[in-house]
A and B are shown apart, each in its own frame.
Chain A
Amino acid sequence: MDFADSTDEAAFRARLRDWLKDNTPKLPPSSTSDDYWAGQAAWHQALYDAGFFGLSWPKQIGGREMPVVHEVIVDDELAAAGAPPRPSLGYLVLGLLHHGNADVQARFLPGIVNGRDRWCQGFSEPDAGSDLASLRTKAVRDGDDYVITGHKIWTSYSDQADWCLVLARTDPDVPRHRGISAFRLDMNQPGVEQRPLQMINGITREFGTLTFDGARVCADDMIGEPGEGWRLAMTVVSHEREPQELGYVARYRKTVKELAGKVGATHDGFDTEQTTALAWAMVESEMLRQHVARRLSDRLDGVVHGPDGSVDKLLMTQVEQTVGHAAVSIGGAPYAGEDPTPLNTYLYSRAQSVMGGTAQIQRNLIASRILGLPAS
């Protein structure tokens, strides 16, 4: 039981810290600025090329097969250097590793891991949010292709994406969970229309809406078997809930560090409510780091967390929203046109209890699948 670095881990940490001295991009936070996304691909590629991304994944897809706890070190050092968090792709990679055949893995995964292929995730629909299995986008076989028709919404970074992992109904005649399949869809084709959706903090790059009108995907680009789409989606979203996959700990700790710098040792000009908000942000962001270390250590035993991802998601949500409160409490709202970042950090934090499955849905899952409470 050791939270400290092994010799190898310490050497890795030193290498990363050294590299970050010259390679920390001056990107604004993803949560409050559209400019982040313009530079995100270059950041991903630089991190990958220097050997600091995709650490625990198989070598044949570009990973390094290192113990997964190295991700804690990456999050630590990115936060300390004021660098952006690592790209949040673990859930996509783990989903494809679990459900894709060898051909799909070999063709799709290296580009995702090395940051050259940009993917978005077309799951939710205007009438299928929490109730994802009610989705209506359909895929109809036509020769070697499927033809896709329907609408997707809340599609993060759809304007940046080359490819979309899309869920579509291939069989309307079976129970609804079994008639869904997953595909890789080329975003650059006629029949795909992408529109941005502005968030409450004003940024326009996070959310998009997609319209598929006769878009085509090659049948070979189906991921998993026909009808396996629901199970793939559940694998993806269960990991999408985990701070250990998302790397957001770095983002929270970076914000807390900046807030601490503003308040300073003397607390001059800051009242008790503000310093208390800061103290909770410190306590909770450290808690999340320690929690991620525990979860990733469990994986060294081969333990794969199923429903526990919902616990991790709710803890992450709590931390993001506590940090958001501290940001606006200490930074202040820009009534006279000051820096809007603190307000926008706070506003963005409200999405965390909705995206990737609402907090209410996570509580339902914990109640039934972890606590074993009876079905209603």
Chain B
Amino acid sequence: MDVRLSDEQRALRDAAAQLVDRLGPKSVAELDDRERRDRLDTALAATGWRELRDPVGAAPGEDDPIASTVEVALVAEELGRGLANAPFTGATLAAELRRLSGAPAAGSETVLLAPDLAAIARPGLPAVALDGAASESGLYVDPSDHRVVAVPLDRNTQVVPAPVDLTRGFVVLDADPDGPAIGGIAAVDLTRWTAFGLAVACADLVGVMRGTLELARSYACTRHQYGAAIGSFQAVQHLLADAHVALEGSRSTALHAAWAVDALDPDDALAAAAGAKAFCARAAMSVCETSIQVHGGIGNTWECLAHVYLRRALVSADLLGNVGANLQRVLDHRLGATLVGSAPGGQD
């Protein structure tokens, strides 16, 4: 047991941090800066980090991923911290779904989700595509026959006009999604995929917490009232201290969840990821709300980045199941009941 990051993992984390520090949005106004966005997208594409879960090769027996979930999580955390508004979450989840289905890797793809984000989409029901405007296709799973279907996103889609998350938009599919089957996925692999998605969401939430806590911390050091920096007041200090504690607990459990995806049996990996997700989601909501509170009136204005963090947290908190759904997964696993898989209606 040694949960320190390797030198290579530290280098990857540092490179991801540098990329978002250089090209991520520094203000709400910069979110819509087309040129910066394109540069971020191009730079992220050049790193190959979206393809970390592609298989190492195309030949049989070469279906192991290029990198572990821990590496994916390190990148996801930095992108969350820097509010990166370039596709990663959807692309990574799609790559993992393809790999587990035995399908060849494809670029510019995302996953289709049920509109509450609680599970992968299924035929005959409404669906949304995470980062859909920037993706050429989206994957869903047909629970009747375990087919994985790639739906072209170039037509019959509508960009959600007022997105919840200002950094990761959705498109809504207006017709029944359809497209070619790219492969089939076994129930056990769908469980593994769900664990993977939850672990990536946890990492994003940890990053979001780090980002918004630093925003609030630096504001508390510079904003003066009553002739003193507000960060010198114990009431403000305790809010920020509690946020830091929530962040540190989240880091530990998110790291374990990422490790568990590749190391444990699928059911155990899902339980680990579900527990971590419940913890991180609750923590992230609280930390993001604290950040708004510490910012006072400014924190309730559109121009303050605090709500951008909160909005991003909302999506990651709901992704593949909200707090209640994930607590239920933990209970089912620990109490020996049948585990509820990711597909709507269970593992049929």
Q: B275 to A300, Cβ gap below 8 A?
A: no
| In the complex, per-residue mask of A249-272: 1 if CB is within 8 Å of any chain B CB, else 0 | 000000000001001111100000
Residues 276-293 (chain B) with a chain A CB within 8 angstroms: 276, 278-279
CB-CB under 8 A for A1 and B9, given A279-B330, A294-B252, A371-B240: yes
Give A residues with C-beta under 8 Å from B: 1-6, 9, 67, 69, 72-73, 260, 263-267, 275-276, 278-280, 282-284, 286-288, 290-291, 293-294, 297-298, 300-301, 308, 311, 314-315, 318, 360, 362-364, 366-368, 370-376
Q: Which of A2, A276, A283 has the most CB of B within 10 A?
A: A283
Q: B2 to A364, Cβ gap below 8 A?
A: no
Please indicate the chain A residues that have their CB under 8 angstroms from the CB of B248 in the complex: 291, 308, 311, 315
CB-CB under 8 A for A3 and B260, given A366-B241, A373-B220: yes
Please indicate the chain A residues that have their CB under 8 angstroms from the CB of B337 in the complex: 265-266
| In the complex, per-residue mask of B247-263: 1 if CB is within 8 Å of any chain A CB, else 0 | 01101110110011001
CB-CB under 8 A for A1 and B253, given A286-B275, A374-B221, A374-B232: no
The smallest beta-carbon distance between A308 and chain B, in angstroms, is 8
Partner of A4, one of B221, B244, B263, B272: B263
3 smallest CB-CB distances across A and B, nearest first, come from A367-B237, A291-B252, A363-B241
| A280 CA to B279 CA, complexed, in Å | 8
| A69 CA to B1 CA, complexed, in Å | 6
The smallest beta-carbon distance between A362 and chain B, in angstroms, is 8
Give B residues with C-beta under 8 Å from A: 1-6, 9, 70, 217, 220-221, 228-229, 231-234, 236-238, 240-242, 244-245, 248-249, 251-253, 255-256, 259-260, 263, 272, 275-276, 278-279, 327-328, 330-331, 334-337
Please indicate the chain B residues that have their CB under 8 angstroms from the CB of A315 in the complex: 245, 248-249
Q: A373 to B328, Cβ gap below 8 A?
A: no
Q: B245 to A311, Cβ gap below 8 A?
A: yes
Q: A1 to B245, Cβ gap below 8 A?
A: no
Please indicate the chain B residues that have their CB under 8 angstroms from the CB of A283 in the complex: 253, 275, 278-279, 327, 330
The smallest beta-carbon distance between B244 and chain A, in angstroms, is 6
Q: A287 to B1, Cβ gap below 8 A?
A: no
Starting from the known contacts A282-B331, A282-B334, A297-B4, 14 additional A-B residue pairs (CB-CB under 8 Å) come to A263-B335, A267-B331, A278-B331, A279-B331, A287-B252, A287-B276, A290-B256, A311-B245, A363-B241, A367-B234, A368-B237, A371-B241, A372-B217, A373-B231
| A364 CA to B217 CA, complexed, in Å | 14
Partner of B251, one of A2, A265, A294, A373: A294
